[in-house]
Amino acid sequence: MIKGINHQIIEVTETDNIFYERALLVIRPEYTGAQKAVLEKEAKKMLRDMGAPSCMKKQHKYLYWAIRLIPAALLGALTAWVILTLL
């Protein structure tokens, strides 16, 4: 338990993000007087715009390039085979 620290925290349970179930956001002391609705709206917007975790992005990047390069390599091999068989 941490003593002597007083922070305002917003808990967002509806994140509109497929990767995150809920989020706890700590409000900076200078913005604790802001309207709660505005802070929650901005928090939800930030979470909605947040993408996948970096490890998942990397996996999708490899899959993307594999899907693009394998057909290109096969087409190149087919073209080379056709040219060599006609000569």
Taking a C-beta distance cutoff of 8 angstroms, is the pair 7, 28 a contact? no
* pLDDT at residue 45 tops 70: yes
Q: Tens of pLDDT along 50-63? A: 766 665 555 667 77
What pLDDT shows up at residue 4? 56
What pLDDT shows up at residue 28? 84
Q: Tens of pLDDT along 13-33? A: 887 777 778 888 888 888 878
Facing residues of 22 across strands? none
CA angle 28, 34, 40 (to 5 degrees): 80
What pLDDT shows up at residue 73? 92
